[in-house]
């Protein structure tokens, strides 16, 4: 039960990351240690073929015909799986249909999530069904435990389960998780030629860049309209100390990355503790609640960083717009006009780099550009205080001396007069 709880906890964490799998898919095949990952591609083994190593498939189907063997663990998401041969490891199928035919063997645990499944073969480990429906045929043999979580599994009379049978575990209503499983959009499959796939990705980046450009421009104008003083103070700080602001911005990105790494480690520990709680049926609600609340550990730093990046970019755009207005001799531009002009200069450059090379060009440009404003944002406490450079330490003493000194007229009046105490009479 403890191992099944760990599976459940880690897979719930995976659900939060499922939408990101398409964004990180840069190629159809990725080689990793002891296995391979296929993206947007079907994997069809030949009869008698042996695949040595772990196998991962994102947005693709898998067929293991009779006589073929996969010597490793298998993970498939957004694809259908048909197994007639042997898998010498565990098998996980998420958001797809599994057909484990009679005579097929999975020498490990079998986990299926979301979809309709037909199981007629043998599983030497545990079988877990979550958020899905399935049929356990009369030829099916499960050597380990059977667990059905928020799903339905129809069992034939001849189906055998050697371990513990838990086929009626109901989770609380979690529509967000169901939507994330069911609404992960399938991407182009292997039947589409490579030029069409490249053109599709290009069009997708084009629309994405256009949409976020409009959102950023509208958000920038809204920030200047609602918080004009904050944006003005950040702009003044950028102009007053650009080098210090840029260095502080880069340092902020570095600190944020370190904090996020620590938060990720804490999140993994929390998930492991929650998985141990889930292994006890009574504590399943507490474990699930702990997993959902653990996501909040990652939120504060990214939210503060994103807010600082937006305010810094907008303030920098306002400064750039003012400088362009001075060069064009248009007179003093209003804050909204200067910000709009600056955004129309900087945002299209970032959008163009995103369309061409998102990773190697767009992100470095955005980080370098926003670092200049991000340092000023944190230096001015998000624009709540002016960015005046520190005065020399001797300045307060000099001001005190000047305050005690008498004006010239008073000194002339007292010329030749002796200094007498107030109570002394002549």
Residues 170 and 102 in one domain: yes
Q: Give me the sign of the Cα torsion angle 314, 315, 317, 322.
A: positive
Residues 214 and 139 in one domain: no
Has residue 224 been placed in a domain?
A: yes
Q: What is the pLDDT of residues 119-135, one digit of tens each?
A: 999 999 988 888 778 88
Least confident among 44-48, 142-146, 376-380, 399-403 = 399-403
pLDDT at 195: 59
Has residue 397 been placed in a domain?
A: no
Has residue 407 been placed in a domain?
A: no
Has residue 6 been placed in a domain?
A: no
Residues 173 and 229 in one domain: no
pLDDT confidence bin for 84, thresholds 50/70/90: very high
pLDDT confidence bin for 77, thresholds 50/70/90: confident
Could you give the CA distance from residue 251 to residue 346 in angstroms, rounded to a whole number? 22
Mean predicted lDDT score pLDDT of the chain: 75
pLDDT at 38 over 80: yes
Residues 350 and 220 in one domain: yes
Could you give the CA distance from residue 14 to residue 34 in angstroms, rounded to a whole number? 21
Residues 269 and 371 in one domain: yes
pLDDT at 15 over 70: no
Question: To 10 degrees, the CA torsion angle through 201, 203, 209, 210?
Answer: -170
CB 254 within 8 A of CB 331: no
Residues 202 and 348 in one domain: yes
Residues 171 and 239 in one domain: no
Residues 153 and 236 in one domain: no
Higher-pLDDT residue of 13 and 152 is 152
Has residue 389 been placed in a domain?
A: no
Q: Give me the sign of the Cα torsion angle 325, 329, 333, 337.
A: negative
pLDDT confidence bin for 91, thresholds 50/70/90: very high
pLDDT at 25: 38
pLDDT at 106 over 80: yes
The total of structural domains in the chain comes to 2
Higher-pLDDT residue of 408 and 288 is 288
Has residue 163 been placed in a domain?
A: yes
Q: What is the pLDDT of residues 299-344, one digit of tens each?
A: 777 788 888 888 888 888 888 988 888 888 776 778 888 888 888 9
pLDDT confidence bin for 65, thresholds 50/70/90: very high
pLDDT at 82 over 90: yes
Residues 113 and 136 in one domain: yes
pLDDT confidence bin for 288, thresholds 50/70/90: low
> Which token pair is 89?
């490891």
pLDDT at 209: 82
Other C-beta atoms lying within 10 Å of the C-beta of residue 378: 18
Q: What is the pLDDT of residues 138-196, one digit of tens each?
A: 999 999 888 887 778 888 888 898 888 876 665 544 444 444 444 444 444 444 445 55
> At which of 379, 400, 420 does a domain end?
379
Has residue 372 been placed in a domain?
A: yes
Domain that holds residue 114: 28-182
Higher-pLDDT residue of 399 and 78 is 78
Residues 330 and 211 in one domain: yes
Q: What percent of the chain has pLDDT over 70?
A: 67
Could you give the CA distance from residue 6 to residue 106 in angstroms, rounded to a whole number? 20
β-sheet with 86-87: strand ranges across: 50-52, 69-71, 86-87, 105-106, 122-123, 141-142, 160-161
Residues 126 and 60 in one domain: yes
Higher-pLDDT residue of 263 and 234 is 234
Has residue 89 been placed in a domain?
A: yes
> At which of 155, 182, 209 does a domain end?
182
Residues 158 and 263 in one domain: no
């Amino acid at each position: 039960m403890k191992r099944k709880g760990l599976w459940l906890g880690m897979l719930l964490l995976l659900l939060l990351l499922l939408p990101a799998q398409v964004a990180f898919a840069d190629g159809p095949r990725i080689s990793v240690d002891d296995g391979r990952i296929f993206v947007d591609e079907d994997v069809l083994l030949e009869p008698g073929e042996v695949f040595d190593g772990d196998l991962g498939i994102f947005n693709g189907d898998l067929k293991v015909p009779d006589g073929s063997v996969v010597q490793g663990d298998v993970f498939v998401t957004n694809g259908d799986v048909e197994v007639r041969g042997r898998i010498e490891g565990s098998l996980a199928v998420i958001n797809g249909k599994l057909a484990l035919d009679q005579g097929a063997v999975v020498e490990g645990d079998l986990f299926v999530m979301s979809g309709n499944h037909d199981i007629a073969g043998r599983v030497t480990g545990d079988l877990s069904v979550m958020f899905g429906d399935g049929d356990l045929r009369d030829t099916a043999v499960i050597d380990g435990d059977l667990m059905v979580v928020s799903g339905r599994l129809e069992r034939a009379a001849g189906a055998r389960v050697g371990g513990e049978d838990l086929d009626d575990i109901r989770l609380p209503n979690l529509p967000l998780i169901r939507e994330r499983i069911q609404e992960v959009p399938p991407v182009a499959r292997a039947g589409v030629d490579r030029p069409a796939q490249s053109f599709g990705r290009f069009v997708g980046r084009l629309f994405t860049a256009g949409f976020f450009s409009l959102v950023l421009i509208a958000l920038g104008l809204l920030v200047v309209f609602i918080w004009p003083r904050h944006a003005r103070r950040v702009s003044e700080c950028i102009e007053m100390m650009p080098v210090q602001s840029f260095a502080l911005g880069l340092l902020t990105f570095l600190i944020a990355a370190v904090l996020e790494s620590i938060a990720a480690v804490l999140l993994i520990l929390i998930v492991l503790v929650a998985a141990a709680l889930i292994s006890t049926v009574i504590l399943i609600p507490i474990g699930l609640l702990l997993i959902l609340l653990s996501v909040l550990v990652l939120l504060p730093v990214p939210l503060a960083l994103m807010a600082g990046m937006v305010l810094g970019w907008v303030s920098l755009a306002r400064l750039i717009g003012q400088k362009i207005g001075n060069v064009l001799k248009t007179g003093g531009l209003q804050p909204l006009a200067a910000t709009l002009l600056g955004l129309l200069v900087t945002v299209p450059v970032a959008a163009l780099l995103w369309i061409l090379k998102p990773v190697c060009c767009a992100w470095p440009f955005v980080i370098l550009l926003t670092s200049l404003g991000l340092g000023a944002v944190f230096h001015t406490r998000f624009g709540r205080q002016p960015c005046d450079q520190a005065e020399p330490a001797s300045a307060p003493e000099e001001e005190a001396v000047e305050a005690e000194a008498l004006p010239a007229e008073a000194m002339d009046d007292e010329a030749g007069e002796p200094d007498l105490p107030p109570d002394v009479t002549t």
